[in-house]
Amino acid sequence: MNQPGLWWSDGEAYQAALQKSGKLLKEYVQKNHIENLFQGIAEKIVDDENWDEVAESLARKIFCLSRCIAEISRIIVD
């Protein structure tokens, strides 16, 4: 899941999601808010509980994506 040019390639957002840490995710977004993907997010999500929810949701999406990639890889190999 570590591919250059993709949002999770940095590692910080990926680790924040895996740890379901809203605090780490908020720090990452605030530090990188200039990028189009994160533009305006830090201003819209103000409560720490909301950041935790975003981190948990991101973790679920990463898990689903990794399962899909594994399944595609299995199909290609078979």
Contact 12, 24 (CB under 8 A): yes
pTM of the predicted protein model: 0.60
73: Cα separation from own chain's centroid: 22
pLDDT at 9: 47
Q: What is the pLDDT of residue 1?
A: 47
Residue 61 has pLDDT above 80, yes or no: yes
Under the banding of pLDDT at 50, 70 and 90, the label for residue 46 is confident
Chain mean pLDDT for the chain: 76
| Interatomic CA distance for residues 27 and 23, integer angstroms | 6
Question: Mean of the pLDDT values across residues 26-33?
Answer: 77
The stretches of 1-78 forming alpha helices (DSSP H) are 12-18, 22-31, 41-44, 48-77
Mean pLDDT computed over 40-66: 82
| 54 and 22 Cβ atoms separated by less than 8 Å | yes
